[in-house]
Amino acid sequence: MAENIMNYETVTLNEEKATLDIIDQTQLPNHVEILSLADIKDIWDAIYLLKVRGAPAIGVAAAIGLYVVAKDIDADSYDAFYAEFKKAKDYLASARPTAVNLFWALDRMENVVLMNKDKAVSDLKQLLHDEAIAIKEEDIWVCRSIGEYGLSLIKDGDGILTHCNAGQLATAKYGTALAPIHLGVEKGYKFKVFTDETRPLLQGARLSAFELYSHGIDTTVICDNMASQVMKNGWVQAVFVGCDRVAANGDACNKIGTSGVAILAKYYGIPFYVCAPTSTIDMETKQGEDIPIEERPAKEVTDMWYTKRMAPEGVNVYNPAFDFADNELITAIITEYGIARPPYKQSLKEIFERKANAHK
């Protein structure tokens, strides 16, 4: 049995050292290494280099990281403090372009500063500390709530396919797409989970499989191009995926390969569920085509994981990090405030109305 990664915190504030502590996910599954980060360049690198990854975890890490940096800003006046704070916030925002949680969390932190212009700098730093902790605690509640809603859609013994990693390693706890599975296990359910390896970075093989297997869950890794056969065999009763941004029309952007899985699920009549915190739903983005898609280095395809290069020198490489599943392929979008179903332009608005009412 693998080491139970569920016993570790994916991202946290180390109060004693005043650092952002993360699991270095580039070392998994072979080595569990905790990084303690205080320098803004190291925090930026951790986000860009996928040492911390998954939209919710990126948001939490950015919030804590921004506090860690802001804590050491040497300024006597509000204006001087805000100038340095804004510079740090904008720099961290440049680390990844697609995951809306990054900008959402950083904007929340900035709003704390903007709404408290009359406060002393020392008080601003304490308020930023409290907001960062609140963002993390909210993520734990959000993920558990998504898990409970998702669990209502499946039954004991079901086969579930997932793509990439949207588990605890992508969030503060439980995960989004894997939360129904983890919560089901707590209730004694037994699932058979198929994890797409998720080329080229292998988040399914390295992370989801590690997380699920270490939690005692029946887990089978498959190459991405095996999903059709597994579905055809009748082994999959539901697909659960996370996402990095949902557009207002329900188009859901997630790790590259997700759209193909959605198309296959539609063909085989298998429910395709997107698990999305409301912080990942961008009502300002009308459709999937409007979402910026990050393109990553060619070496992730040609060199990574190999002792020798596995493609001809000089050959062209296209390496988009994400694609999006068209809303017509999505059975439902599971949020912490309920389950949205087509038509999504209406149901997602209702989700946000429910959220607004809950916070009155």
pLDDT tens series, the chain, 360 aa: 446 888 999 999 999 999 999 999 999 999 999 999 999 999 999 999 999 999 999 999 999 999 999 999 999 999 999 999 999 999 999 999 887 899 999 999 999 999 999 999 999 999 999 999 999 999 999 999 999 999 999 999 999 999 999 999 999 999 999 999 999 999 999 999 999 999 999 999 999 999 999 999 999 999 999 999 999 999 999 999 999 999 999 999 999 999 999 999 999 999 999 999 999 999 999 999 999 999 999 999 999 999 999 999 999 999 999 999 999 999 999 999 999 999 999 999 999 999 999 988
Q: What is the pLDDT of residue 330?
A: 98
Length of the chain: 360
Q: Where is 322: in which H helix or E strand?
A: strand 322-325
Written out in words, the top-level CATH class of the domain with range 153-358 is: alpha beta
Question: Could you say which of 21, 139, 158, 244 is catalytic?
Answer: 244
Q: Parse the chain into domains and list their residue ranges.
A: 5-143, 153-358
Residue 326's region, left for phi above 0, alpha for psi from -120 to 50, else beta, is beta
Residue among 200, 193, 217 at smallest CA distance from 301:
200
Both tokens assigned to 46: 């951790």
Q: What is the pLDDT of residue 3?
A: 62
The number of angstroms, rounded, from the C-alpha of 60 to the middle of its chain's C-alpha atoms is 10
Statement: 5-143 belongs to CATH 3.20.20.70: no
What count of Cα atoms within 13 Å lies in the side-chain half-sphere of residue 277? Answer: 33
What is d(CA 315, CA 99) in angstroms, rounded to the nearest whole number? 29
Burial 193-219 (b: 16+ CB within 10 A, else e): bbbbbbbbbbbbbbbbbbbbbbbebeb
In this structure, the strands spanning 332-335 and 338-340 are: antiparallel
What is d(CA 350, CA 248) in angstroms, rounded to the nearest whole number? 12
Known catalytic membership, residue 244: yes
pTM above 0.75, yes or no: yes
